[in-house]
């Protein structure tokens, strides 16, 4: 058997998993559809689990890497590239794809609690996306396009998780319209959190003039994505606490 036959098996089974999930995958049906012998199939994959591991490693991981490929090694135009990826997700959505949901999310829900190796491999697919986005955000900060006070990894985790959530909610509602709306809201939120204001000086002046002059204590608004300065807290001899950079 050739390498191309192995890849054909993996791709066909990946498409079947996308359509109906891993648990319902029937390898005998896929063997019949591919018109290959059982011996040829089991030459590569001794059991269904081994097939699943290979699908995750060799098909799913490159599939999700490609989704964010425009952000890999980017040095400028990060916000535009990020919004473009999300726009593509909206444009390629169909009623059928939304009803199926995100294949990575589906497999995480199906398998991560019952198979540790599957969990690790699925986590790797998640992590490769996070690292691409994190690196791009850091590049955008260096270029002065994105806000420095944001934590690049937290934002990256948020983007990947939020997109997975958009697919999940839209799947249960069987609604492409819901998906498009949710991703659109996500785009607006990211612009507010990430993108440097066009006129930061003007914004600062406005904040100063609108700030109350009273000395009464005010509640601080915490940015959940604020950059982590890697500080640790230590107790003083008087019982108070102070922060110290590690």
Section 176-184 average pLDDT: 98
Q: Which domain holds residue 120?
A: 49-195
- Give the pLDDT score at 40: 87
pLDDT band of residue 96 (cuts 50, 70, 90) is: very high
Quick: pLDDT tens for 22-46.
Answer: 999 999 999 999 899 899 899 999 9
pLDDT band of residue 238 (cuts 50, 70, 90) is: very low
CATH number at residue 88: 1.10.357.10
Quick: pLDDT tens for 110-146.
Answer: 999 999 999 999 999 999 999 999 999 999 999 999 9
Residue 144 lies in a domain: yes
SS (H, E, C) the chain: CCHHHHHHHHHHHHHHHHHHCCCCCCHHHHHHHHCCCHHHHHHHCCCHHHHHHHHHHHHHHHHHHHHCHHHCCCCCCHHHHHHHHHHHHHHHCCHHHHHHCCHHHHHHHHHCCCCHHHHHHHHHHHHHHHHHHHHHHHHHHHCCCECCCECHHHHHHHHHHHHHHHHHHHHHHCCHHHHHHHHHHHHHHHHHHHECCCCHHHHHHHHHHHCCCCCCCCCCCCCCCECCCCEEEEECCCCCEEEEEC
Quick: pLDDT tens for 196-234.
Answer: 975 544 434 433 333 444 333 433 444 555 665 444 344
The number of domains in the chain is 1
Residue 210 lies in a domain: no
Residue 101 lies in a domain: yes
Residue 67 lies in a domain: yes
- Give the pLDDT score at 228: 57
pTM summary value: 0.79
Residue 243 has pLDDT above 80, yes or no: no
Residue 167 has pLDDT above 80, yes or no: yes
Residue 34 lies in a domain: no
């Amino acid at each position: 058997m050739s390498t191309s036959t192995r890849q054909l098996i993996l791709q066909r089974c990946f498409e079947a998993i996308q359509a109906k999930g891993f648990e319902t995958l029937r390898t005998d049906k896929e063997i019949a559809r591919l018109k290959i012998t059982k011996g040829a199939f089991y030459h590569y994959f001794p059991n269904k689990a081994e097939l699943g591991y290979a699908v995750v490693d060799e098909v799913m991981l490159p599939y999700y890497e490609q989704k964010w490929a425009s952000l890999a090694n980017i040095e400028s135009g990060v916000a535009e590239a990020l919004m473009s990826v999300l726009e593509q997700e909206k444009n390629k959505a169909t009623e059928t794809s939304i009803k199926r949901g995100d294949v990575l999310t589906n497999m995480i829900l199906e398998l991560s609690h019952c198979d540790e190796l599957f969990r690790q491999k699925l986590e790797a697919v998640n992590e490769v996306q996070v690292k691409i986005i994190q690196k791009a955000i850091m590049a955008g900060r260096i270029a002065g396009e994105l806000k420095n006070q944001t934590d690049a990894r937290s934002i990256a985790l948020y983007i990947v998780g939020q997109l997975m959530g958009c697919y999940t909610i839209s799947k249960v509602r069987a609604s492409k319209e819901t998906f498009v709306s949710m991703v659109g809201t996500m785009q607006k939120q990211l612009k507010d959190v990430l993108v440097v204001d066009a006129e930061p000086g003007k914004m600062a002046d406005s904040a100063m003039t609108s700030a109350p002059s009273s000395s009464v204590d005010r509640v601080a608004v915490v940015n959940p994505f604020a950059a982590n300065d890697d500080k640790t807290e230590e107790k003083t001899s008087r019982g108070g606490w102070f922060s110290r950079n590690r």
